[in-house]
Amino acid sequence: MDQFIPPVKDMIFALREVVGKGDLNSNSGFEDFDRDFLETVYESASEITSEIIAPTNKDGDRLGVSIDDGKVTVPNGYAEAYDAYVDGGWSTLSCNPEYGGQGMPASISMPVNEMVMGANFSWAHLVLLTNSAIRAVDAHANDELKDLYLEKLISGKFSGTMNLTEPQAGSDLSVMNTVAEPNGDSYKITGQKIFITWGEHDLSENIIHLVLARLPDAPEGVKGISLFLVPKIRLNADGALAERNTLKAVSVEHKLGIHGCATCVMSFEEAEGFLIGEPNQGLACMFTMMNDARIGVACESVAIAERAYQQAVNYAKDRIQGRTQTSDSRVSIINHPDVRRMLLSMKSLIEVMRVLVYENTFECDLAESKPEHTKRADLLTPITKAWCSELCQDITSIALQVHGGMGYVEETGAAQHFRDARITTIYEGTTGIQANDLIGRKFISDNGSAVNDLLDQIETEVEDSDIESKIKAEVSQAIEQARNVSKFILENIQNDPNLAGSSSYSFLMMMGYLVGGWIAVRNITAAKNSLKETDDKEFYNAKIISSNFYIEQFMPLVRSFGSSAMQGSKSMMSMPDDQF
């Protein structure tokens, strides 16, 4: 049965005992969020996500969305789920209190986001992309725009989108064609955008599009891009809805997965828009939204993986098939060693992925008052986004394998998670884009300083940890490999101009599995500390087992990817084009 039960206990363990190191409340901005508070909030969120949002998931996939003359029709239950989410105040958690938000740190609301994504991945994009739009408007818009739009966005009366991609441009925003002509206090926006998530619907009163466009005198390339707020429905000076703006959804994309999400082609015909931030600084403004969304995609990856895992576990416990070496009668397949390998692989990966998402978000929170945390947050973001989304592909594929033939047919629902997950490595910059960002902007540009700081911290924590000697040795060897790879790249980058690009993917995956090992050590340490003070021995012992399993089974991949990263670009770049 494809039901979803948010893993609240796992979330609180990850946030309070691992990320917060058992003292989360001592950090600035976190003083009011003790365990009782978190349990109350997360149990309430668990109720709405499992009982109201999750039941819309299957029909959302099966029926999908449709469009007729620019009007998008959504699956049954979507409107009720949206109203319940908004009425419960869930849209306001980490938003600015000056405009109706609750002002929680983003890392406190991230577990709620994970629950929403796990409940219905397609539906969740509507509310969570709005959160990213809110951040961009709050950070860069003038007071007049904030006063008109921000409170309504935060309350959920309005929803938000991001409009970047055009048919001819793809990820290369330097060649976009959308133009913005000055028109008094506003601008006329004309152009077409594709892949616009929830670009049209009637679940909220209005849709606020954040659109990248060029001013007439803009310089060439990405330095000539500006950001504009373009409402679906114009507002009067008092904030009341006025007439429809001159924009529409031309079509909805027919996709491999997320069928219940309205991914639109949007057409703007001299639509009224308002400049956000300074002229020609649109990309910098949009990256406020983009970086937030990248960590959000990593959280999506955890959420889909978690739901696929839950379904695989339930199936493995119920499905009776075969005998084992130690049983005379037929057993449920969870008793077979290879099935246990698959399930424990899923579990151990999800547990480190979850902590990584929360840790990255926590560093972003700390950076708001302590700029020294910005460097770590920036370093982790491409690793978090790309590594978690790549692992999500593996985990949802394993879930199909656990089901066997029943996973390949649509009735069980396991195939949906596999299809839905495929977008995560593409959203908000592909794995290749994240890998290039990591090796170029976050590693080579500072001569390895940020990476070395991270490796130093991992090494110190591992040396001081109370873990088995063989486990400690495995992690230590991985750290040494990462140092060797870092040195190799920095020493050879001038002689091999293609080295960064050819090694970027392996470098990113190496860092991902290494950071995962660091987190596994932290999980073990936190679980051992909690075992001294709790009667819930099984939960914490399970954390130790799954973390040991991760280090035993996945840390060797650090050496493998590291070796690949040091092979240089000769073989990759010497193959003639016509031989591919």
pLDDT digits (tens, 9 = 90+) for 191-234: 999 999 999 999 999 999 999 999 999 998 889 999 999 999 99
**Mean pLDDT to the nearest integer, 77-98:** 97
pLDDT above 90: residue 79: yes
pLDDT at position 6, please?
A: 98
pLDDT at position 324, please?
A: 84
**Mean pLDDT to the nearest integer, 513-523:** 98
The percent of residues above 70 in pLDDT, for the chain, comes to 99
Question: Cα separation of 39 and 31, whole Å?
Answer: 15
pLDDT at position 54, please?
A: 97
Residue 427's CB is within 10 A of a number of other CB atoms, namely 19
> What's 218's DSSP letter?
P
**Mean pLDDT to the nearest integer, 29-44:** 96
Confidence band of 328 (pLDDT split at 50, 70, 90): confident
Return the HEC string of 223-291.
HHCEEEEEECEEECCCCCEEEECCEEEEEECCCCCCCCCCEEEEEEEEEEEEEECCCCCHHHHHHHHHH
Tell me the two tokens of residue 90: 């869930």
**Mean pLDDT to the nearest integer, 314-320:** 95
| Cβ proximity of 450 and 375 under 8 Å | yes
| Alpha helical stretches, state H, 368-430 | 374-403, 405-408, 414-421
pLDDT above 70: residue 376: yes
Mean pLDDT of the chain: 95
Using alpha carbons, select from 158, 172, 296 the residue that is nearest to residue 229: 158
**Mean pLDDT to the nearest integer, 356-379:** 96
The gap from C-alpha 418 to its chain's centroid, in whole angstroms, comes to 16
The percent of residues above 90 in pLDDT, for the chain, comes to 92
Confidence band of 1 (pLDDT split at 50, 70, 90): low
pLDDT, tens digit, 9 for 90 and up, residues 246-284: 999 999 999 999 999 999 999 999 999 999 999 999 988
Confidence band of 292 (pLDDT split at 50, 70, 90): confident
Confidence band of 386 (pLDDT split at 50, 70, 90): very high
pLDDT at position 325, please?
A: 83
pLDDT at position 393, please?
A: 98
pTM above 0.85, yes or no: yes
pLDDT at position 268, please?
A: 98
Give the active site residues.
428
pLDDT above 80: residue 360: yes
The CA-based dihedral angle spanning residues 122, 405, 311, 425, taken in that order and rounded to the nearest 10 degrees? -40
pLDDT above 80: residue 2: no
Determine what percent of the chain falls in helix, strand and coil, rounding each to the nearest 5: 60, 15, 25
pLDDT above 80: residue 173: no
